[in-house]
Structure 1
Amino acid sequence: MKKVIFAAFLSYFLIVSCQVQARTIYTAEYVKIFENLNSDKKQLFNQSKKWIANNFNSAQDVIQYQSLEEGQLIIRGIASPLCDLTVSKMQCNGYSQAKISFNLAIDLKDKRARLKFNNYGYAKFGNTPIDDPITYKLMLGRFDALSSDFEKTLNASIDNDKW
């Protein structure tokens, strides 16, 4: 009888422990630094606000904090992962449906800027951490695309007289 109870307990323990899925810990933040920009802190601040207005649905809703003196903007945004060639079109349709929420801190100094993406997770599920390596990779692709667009905006000519 002891062997039967022990076998039942052991099999229950093995079944329960096999169902627990180990979560992969990914980096807590994604940082991009831009140097040798063409503007001072005030111009970079204004260009950053224009970039936010162009890339997010409502600049007023996503900007959580802004300070020209500190040269800092904090944004709470949502984006979908950016598919690349490593994912099939069928998979891309599924992955692009995911909405990733994130915080973005923009730090500005004269001729320098830093983007810090952090606190990211699935927006539809209470900011559940990203636990899928493909979603994580595609999310980093979206952050790269946003970062390169940000850099292009900051390096764009400020001359608005030619229109």
Structure 2
Amino acid sequence: MKKVIFTAFLSYFLIVTSQVQARTFYTTEHVRIIENLNGDKSNLFKNSKKWVANNFNSAQDVIQYESPEEGQLIIRGIASPLCDSTVSKMQCNGYSQAKISFNLTIDLKDKRARLKFSNYGYARFGNTPIDDPITYKLMLNRFDSLSNDFEKTLSTSNNNDSW
């Protein structure tokens, strides 16, 4: 009888613990390669710094590393997730309150750029990893929006003579 009770007791814990699901943390890098930009590496580098100055509060604070020779900028930024039509307005209000910190590495070559978003997490909670699939999806929307704006800015010609 003791063996039956012990077996039942042990099997109860095996059944209960097998139902615990592991949380998924979203930690992969988001990379976008942009082709056919206007200009050489040095011109693209200057325009990239202007883009950073226009899209972040303080370019001096967010630029962590810059090398014109390598054609590389590393930026530490904070942004809110960007809502889309798959999220209701009430949910959007909640999700857009989150602040996501991230690293953005911009690698430049002649007529090409690579934007690599990495090391992202909740800024208000010590860069805690993203574990919510909706927040992750909306965060990728923000990264795509930044990438599209970067491409649009660097693809336009630099004729500012007609002001």
**Counterpart residue type for residue 43 of structure 1:** N
Q: 1:127 to 1:46 in 2, by over 3 A?
A: same
Aligned counterparts of 2:60 and 2:42: Cα–Cα separation in 1 = 19
Aligned counterparts of 1:15 and 1:124: Cα–Cα separation in 2 = 34
Structure 1 equivalent of residue 73 of structure 2 = 73
Counterpart check, 1:91 vs 2:96: no
Stretches of structure 2 lacking an aligned partner (at least 5 in a row): none
**Counterpart residue type for residue 56 of structure 1:** F
Q: Contact 2:27–2:120 (CA<8 Å) still a contact in 1? A: no
Structure 1 equivalent of residue 107 of structure 2 = 107
Q: 1:87 to 1:105 in 2, by over 3 A?
A: same
Q: Name the SS of the counterpart of 2:61 in structure 1.
A: helix
Deviation of 1:157 (Å) = 2.0
Cα deviations by residue, 1:26-50 (Å, 9 ceiling, x for unpaired): 4510111111111111111111011
Structure 2 equivalent of residue 30 of structure 1 = 30
1:1-163 paired onto structure 2 within 5 Å: 2=2, 11=12, 18=19, 20-26=20-26, 28-163=28-163
Aligned counterparts of 1:57 and 1:16: Cα–Cα separation in 2 = 48
Aligned counterparts of 2:122 and 2:13: Cα–Cα separation in 1 = 32
Aligned counterparts of 2:150 and 2:81: Cα–Cα separation in 1 = 17
Cα RMSD of the aligned pairs, angstroms, is 1.9
- What is the percentage of aligned positions where both structures have the same residue? 76
TM-score normalized by the length of structure 1:
0.89
Stretches of structure 1 lacking an aligned partner (at least 5 in a row): none
Cα deviations by residue, 1:44-75 (Å, 9 ceiling, x for unpaired): 11110111111111111110000000000000
Aligned counterparts of 1:70 and 1:98: Cα–Cα separation in 2 = 34
TM-score normalized by the length of structure 2:
0.89
Cα deviations by residue, 1:8-39 (Å, 9 ceiling, x for unpaired): 66556655665x54122545101111111111
Number of residue pairs matched?
Answer: 162
**Counterpart residue type for residue 127 of structure 1:** N
Cα deviations by residue, 1:96-122 (Å, 9 ceiling, x for unpaired): 011111110000011111100011111
Q: Name the SS of the counterpart of 2:33 in structure 1.
A: strand
Q: Contact 2:47–2:154 (CA<8 Å) still a contact in 1? A: yes
Q: 1:97 to 1:107 in 2, by over 3 A?
A: same
Aligned counterparts of 1:108 and 1:145: Cα–Cα separation in 2 = 19
Q: Name the SS of the counterpart of 1:131 in structure 2.
A: coil
